[in-house]
């Protein structure tokens, strides 16, 4: 039986053109399902210990500034033998994430990755190959870098031997036990956003004219950052921002006015107070109606500022306390940023 991309679906509505598509592959027990569960279904990393091996391809569709679908192909399927319509899957997808278990012997993974890259690039020369060197939480700092160097060297050497010099391939060190998986996934998604350069430009202009040191545009549900300004970023800053989003959403949900009609059923409640597809995925419900906003001052004087934007996005900014007297100007500029974002989203 040949399975086509459209047949492999887990029930989330994709619409007629669920693009861009991210395909996730890798050998058994590499960590693919765990990544999807932690990123998009709010599962706690430790709970992934009990995940059963995936037996059939699954697709989840997420709606944000861009709609994107993530398809996971189980490691136990040899996709060439299983007659999966690989050509079609690769030709319609924007990125192929290949997950390598760095705590295990990875020679077999590299051979498997190589044959998949050959198929993928043949079907779609523009595909982005993203290699997740995963489970690095179990490796020391030195070991991580050694593994990354070794894997990068082996994969690129083999591609060069095959004369494939223009393959777009990136390597990321990831773990579900820290924020590295969010950063890596953000980088993958960003490459699929056609408006990325415009978003970054808008954030740069906003920072320059408002005394903001760093600004991120986050998808609230998945905590993927869709764009950031061009100033350097580090993982601790990213972590502070995602924690701030969590706290803000939790506080908002705690004190949100219940606008449900008295007769509403339990099922109605999800669609009234939460993002329709996030509620069914286990992702925190994103407040509808009045946009959420919050300001907080850290012990080192840094101010965190959050404003909800269009399509479940939030602008999170870091600024020094000296910028606080100019907060009216910051908010004025953010209104322009929001307008620009709305226009950008409307023209698609
Ligand atoms: N230490 C560590 N373990 C992880 C990480 N990610 C996943 N795991 C564990 O790896 C095991 C396998 O994870 P799965 O998500 O089922 O792997 P899979 O690639 O989906 O496997 P198949 O469904 O067989 O294709 C689970 O016990 C997870 O808890 C990680 O970042 N670090």
- CB of 138 shorter than 6 A to ligand 1: yes
- Give the number of residues written for the chain: 348
Q: Are residues 116 and 214 in the same domain?
A: no
CATH of the domain at 253: 3.30.450.190
CATH of the domain at 48: 3.40.50.300
Q: Are residues 9 and 158 in the same domain?
A: yes
Q: Are residues 122 and 159 in the same domain?
A: yes
Question: 39 C-alpha vs ligand 1 centroid, how far in Å?
Answer: 13
pLDDT confidence of residue 266: 36
Give the whole-angstrom CA distance, residue 255 versus residue 287. Answer: 11
Q: Are residues 26 and 145 in the same domain?
A: yes
- CB of 57 shorter than 6 A to ligand 1: no
- CB of 230 shorter than 6 A to ligand 1: no
**Which residue puts its alpha carbon closest to atom 21 of ligand 1?**
29
Q: Are residues 185 and 270 in the same domain?
A: no
Q: Are residues 136 and 62 in the same domain?
A: yes
Report which of 277, 274, 317 is spatially closest to residue 293, judged by C-alpha positions: 317
pLDDT confidence of residue 54: 81
Q: What value does the mean pLDDT take over residues 213-219? A: 92
Q: Does residue 103 carry a pLDDT above 60?
A: yes
Question: 31 C-alpha vs ligand 1 centroid, how far in Å?
Answer: 3
Average pLDDT, the chain: 81
Report which of 194, 236, 188 is spatially closest to residue 214, judged by C-alpha positions: 236
- CB of 41 shorter than 6 A to ligand 1: no
Q: In terms of DSSP bridges, do strands 214-219 and 225-228 run parallel, antiparallel, or are they unpaired?
A: antiparallel
Chosen domain end from 171, 190, 209: 190
**Which residue puts its alpha carbon closest to atom 8 of ligand 1?**
31
Q: Are residues 129 and 208 in the same domain?
A: no
Q: Are residues 180 and 200 in the same domain?
A: no
Give the whole-angstrom CA distance, residue 282 versus residue 54. Answer: 19
| Residue of 10, 25, 48, 184 to test ligand 1 pocket, by largest number of atoms within 8 Å of CB | 48
- CB of 137 shorter than 6 A to ligand 1: yes
Q: Are residues 71 and 219 in the same domain?
A: no
pTM score: 0.81
121-138 pLDDT, tens digit per residue, is 998 999 999 999 999 998
DSSP helix/strand/coil, 209: helix
Q: Are residues 75 and 139 in the same domain?
A: yes
Q: What value does the mean pLDDT take over residues 30-46? A: 90
pLDDT confidence of residue 76: 65
β-partners of residue 100 are 133
- CB of 32 shorter than 6 A to ligand 1: yes
**Between residues 169 and 54, the one the model is more confident about:** 169
309-344 pLDDT, tens digit per residue, is 887 889 999 998 877 777 888 889 999 999 998 888
Question: 55 C-alpha vs ligand 1 centroid, how far in Å?
Answer: 14
For 320, the domain range is 196-347
The total number of structural domains in the chain stands at 2
Question: 114 C-alpha vs ligand 1 centroid, how far in Å?
Answer: 21
Give the whole-angstrom CA distance, residue 43 versus residue 52. Answer: 14
Q: Are 58 and 7 in contact (CB under 8 A)?
A: no
Q: Does residue 72 carry a pLDDT above 70?
A: yes
**Which residue puts its alpha carbon closest to atom 6 of ligand 1?**
31
Chosen domain end from 190, 221, 253: 190
Q: Does residue 47 carry a pLDDT above 60?
A: yes
Q: Does residue 97 carry a pLDDT above 80?
A: yes
Give the whole-angstrom CA distance, residue 342 versus residue 310. Answer: 6
Closest ligand 1 atom, residue 75 Cα = 25
Percent of the residues in the chain that have a pLDDT greater than 70, as a whole number:
80
Question: 280 C-alpha vs ligand 1 centroid, how far in Å?
Answer: 23
Q: In terms of DSSP bridges, do strands 303-308 and 313-319 run parallel, antiparallel, or are they unpaired?
A: antiparallel
Alpha helices in the chain (DSSP H): 32-40, 86-92, 107-123, 141-161, 180-190, 196-210, 235-255, 266-273, 276-281, 327-347
Closest ligand 1 atom, residue 74 Cα = 25
Q: Are residues 132 and 255 in the same domain?
A: no
Residues of 23-37 as b/e, b for ≥16 C-beta within 10 angstroms? bbbbbebbbbbbbbb
Give the whole-angstrom CA distance, residue 231 versus residue 218. Answer: 16
DSSP helix/strand/coil, 72: strand
Chosen domain end from 137, 159, 190: 190
Q: Are residues 42 and 175 in the same domain?
A: yes
Report which of 188, 184, 238, 192 is spatially closest to residue 67, judged by C-alpha positions: 192
Structure tokens at 330: 């910051």
Report CA-CA distances (Å) from 130 to 89, 159, 210: 16, 14, 35
């Amino acid at each position: 039986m040949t399975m086509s991309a459209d047949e492999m679906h887990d029930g989330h509505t994709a619409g007629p053109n669920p693009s861009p598509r991210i395909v996730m592959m890798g050998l058994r027990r590499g960590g693919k399902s765990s990544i999807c569960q932690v990123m998009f279904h709010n599962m706690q990393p430790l709970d992934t210990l009990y995940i059963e091996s995936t037996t059939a391809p699954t697709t989840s569709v997420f709606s944000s500034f861009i709609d994107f679908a993530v398809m996971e192909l189980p490691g136990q399927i040899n996709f060439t033998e299983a007659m999966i319509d690989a050509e079609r899957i690769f030709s319609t997808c924007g990125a192929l994430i290949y997950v390598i278990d760095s705590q295990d012997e990875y020679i077999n993974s590299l051979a498997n990755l190589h044959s998949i890259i050959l198929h993928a690039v043949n079907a779609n020369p523009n595909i982005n190959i993203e290699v997740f060197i995963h489970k690095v939480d179990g490796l020391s700092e030195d070991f991580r870098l050694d593994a990354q160097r070794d894997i990068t060297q082996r994969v690129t050497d083999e591609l060069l031997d095959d004369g494939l010099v223009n393959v777009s391939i990136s390597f990321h060190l990831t773990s579900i036990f820290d924020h590295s998986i969010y950063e890596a996934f953000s980088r993958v998604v960003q490459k699929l956003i056609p408006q990325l350069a415009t978003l970054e430009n808008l954030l740069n202009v906003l920072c320059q004219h408002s005394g903001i040191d760093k600004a991120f545009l986050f998808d609230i549900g998945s905590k993927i950052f869709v764009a950031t300004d061009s100033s350097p970023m580090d993982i601790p800053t990213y972590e502070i921002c995602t924690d701030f989003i969590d706290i803000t959403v939790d506080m908002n949900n705690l004190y949100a006015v219940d606008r449900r009609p008295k007769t509403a059923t339990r099922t109605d409640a999800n669609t009234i107070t939460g993002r329709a597809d996030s509620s069914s995925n286990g992702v925190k419900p994103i407040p509808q109606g009045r946009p959420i906003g919050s300001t907080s001052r850290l012990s080192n004087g840094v101010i965190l500022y959050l404003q909800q934007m269009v399509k479940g996005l939030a602008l999170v900014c870091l600024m020094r306390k000296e910028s606080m007297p100019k907060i009216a100007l910051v908010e004025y500029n953010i209104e322009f940023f929001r307008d620009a974002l709305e226009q950008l989203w409307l023209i698609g």
